[in-house]
Amino acid sequence: MPQIFHPVFNVISKASIFGSLFMLVLILWFGIIYTRSSYGTDERLARVQPIPFSHEHHAGTHAGGLGIDCRYCHTTVEVSSFAGMPATKTCMNCHSQIWVGSAMLEPVRESYRTGQPIHWQRIYNLPGFVYFDHSIHVAKGVGCASCHGRVDRMPFVFQAESLLMEWCLDCHRQPEHYVRPREEVFNMAWEPPEGDQLSLGRELVKKYGIRDAAQLTSCTTCHR
């Protein structure tokens, strides 16, 4: 019986099989690298805002900083799952008296006159399948800087961490490495006494009734 296919097709078929497997592995590898990179997580990305609001100037405690407490603008952070965004009236509490003619702040004055909110670009945006509550973290002694970085040193706020699940789990597995006294939660510059975070953390974990790692790392804790 005459041969239907030329022997070269054996080589081609083998090459196509191994080539497809190689491409599949390459695509998976690229996907993993991308999702863990700053391109996929938006880590350290500062978005362009409608008004160049400087947290460094407003919240900073250095020379020239105003030292405004986080809660003055983010009023619901202690009682709600959301930190809250300030109403334009909050801005105008000061800017009806200072920088009243600044062209840079015209969008603020326009918002106040018309009642239309300023459309800020969101920096931290968790997926819809992730449940996060600011109030419980604040109540358990997790400082703002632990998640948001030194906002008081940021002229333009950026996402300080990757927000990958492993980053959240690192804290949930070992909360003693991160918790601080409740009265220091909003202190960006706080450091543990004598640099001994672990001893203080273990004490605070017990004092604040923080659940053990098995409960904190349960899927239903964050995915409901």
| Across 7-33, average pLDDT | 84
Tell me the pLDDT band of 3, cut-offs 50, 70 and 90. Answer: low
DSSP assignment of 96-154, as one string?
Answer: TTSSTT-GGGHHHHHHHHH-PPP-PPPS----TT----HHHHHHTT--HHHHH--GGG-
- Domain ranges for the chain, please list them: 8-36, 55-84+122-222, 86-119
The tokens for 102 are 């600044």
Global pTM value: 0.84
Q: How far apart are CA 200 and CA 206, in angstroms?
A: 10
Q: Is the pLDDT of residue 14 over 90?
A: no
Average pLDDT, the chain: 92
Torsion angle in degrees (nearest 10) through CA of 141, 190, 202, 74: 10
State residue 153's pLDDT score. Answer: 95
Q: Is the pLDDT of residue 117 over 90?
A: yes
